[in-house]
């Protein structure tokens, strides 16, 4: 069974860098894109970006200048970095396998507060 | 950016009744379209992809239909576990976008 397990800091100050990692257990790592999606508290879903094992990357233009997604194929992991965070970046961050998004990580609430 | 508009925002339905959820895309997304279910405190769960293909383990009471810009998710007979928020998503164009969600609540 495929499982995605994610980790990273849950409390940041404004202007700091958000850093999350997602590990993939089971299934193929090379046959899929690997994505990050976020959800502000009480709101809808926002696609952040995705990467393939060959590092083909697409980002949401709304975040493009601040976001970096990377992959470590040897560890079956991929990561998200978001720089210069503000309160508007407070959200539950999910990693997911796709497309379509058939397996998701458990989600991590990242709170940005001074 | 393709805007996905879901209606209604809230749908009140009695258990055993049929529920029909709608999603409209601001331009054609071909068949690159999916529906998700999300319960409080949980990650979204894929229900339907490619407009009408049920994901693994999804009961037959969930069915998707539509084409181009207009899509529908039908739940034929609502069970207690189906009360949740439902999101549509297009994955035809970058950036990938989701609808704002429809909350299905108990009437």
Minimum-distance CB partner of A106 among B43, B55, B100: B43
Average pLDDT over residues B2-25: 97
Give the span between the Cα atoms of A31 and A102, in whole angstroms. Answer: 13
State pLDDT tens for residues A17-71: 999 999 999 999 999 999 999 999 999 999 999 998 888 899 999 997 999 999 9
CA distance A51 to chain B (A): 13
The pLDDT value given to residue A36: 98
Distance from CA of B96 to the nearest CA of A (A): 6
Mutate to test the interface with B, among A26, A45, A57, A94 (most CBs of B within 10 A): A45
- Do A102 and B46 lie within an 8 Å CB cutoff? yes
Q: Which residue out of A38, A57, A67, A101 would a mutagenesis test of the B interface target, given it has the greatest number of B Cβ atoms within 10 Å?
A: A101
Query: Which pLDDT score, from 0 to 100, does residue A54 have?
Result: 86
Residue A85 has pLDDT above 90, yes or no: yes
- Integer Cα distance of A19 and A7 in angstroms: 9
Q: List A residues 34-53 in contact with B (Cβ-Cβ < 8 A).
A: 44-47, 50
Closest CA to A85 of A6, A37, A27, A13: A13
Say yes or no to pLDDT of A99 above 90.
Answer: no
Question: Could you write out the DSSP letters of every residue in A62-107?
Answer: TTTTTEEEEEEGGGTEEEEEE-S--GGG-EEEEEEEETTT-EE---
Who's near A104: CB < 8 A, 6+ residues apart?
A: A4, A94, A95, A96, A97, B43, B44, B45
Q: Looking at residue A67, what is its pLDDT?
A: 97
In this complex, how many residue pairs, one in chain A and one in chain B, have their CB atoms less than 8 Å apart?
53
């Amino acid at each position: 069974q495929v499982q995605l397990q994610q980790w990273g800091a849950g409390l940041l100050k404004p202007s700091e860098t958000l850093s999350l990692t997602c590990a993939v257990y089971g299934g193929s790592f090379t046959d899929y894109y690997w994505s990050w999606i976020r959800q502000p508290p009480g709101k809808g879903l926002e696609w952040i970006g995705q990467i393939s094992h060959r590092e083909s990357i697409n980002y949401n233009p709304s975040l493009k200048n601040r976001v970096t997604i990377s992959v470590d194929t040897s560890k079956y992991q991929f990561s998200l970095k978001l720089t210069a965070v503000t309160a508007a970046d407070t959200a539950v961050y999910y990693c997911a396998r796709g497309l379509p998004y058939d397996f998701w990580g458990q989600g991590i609430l990242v709170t940005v507060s001074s | 950016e393709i805007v996905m508009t879901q209606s209604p925002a809230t749908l009140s339905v009695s258990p055993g009744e049929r529920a029909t959820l709608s999603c409209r895309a601001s331009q054609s997304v071909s068949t690159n379209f999916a529906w998700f279910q999300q319960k409080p405190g949980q990650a979204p769960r894929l229900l339907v992809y490619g407009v009408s293909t049920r994901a693994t383990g999804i009961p037959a009471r969930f069915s998707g239909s539509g084409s181009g810009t207009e899509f529908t998710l039908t739940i034929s007979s609502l069970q207690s576990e189906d009360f949740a928020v439902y999101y549509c998503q297009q994955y035809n164009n970058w950036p990938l976008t989701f609808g704002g969600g429809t909350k299905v609540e108990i009437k």
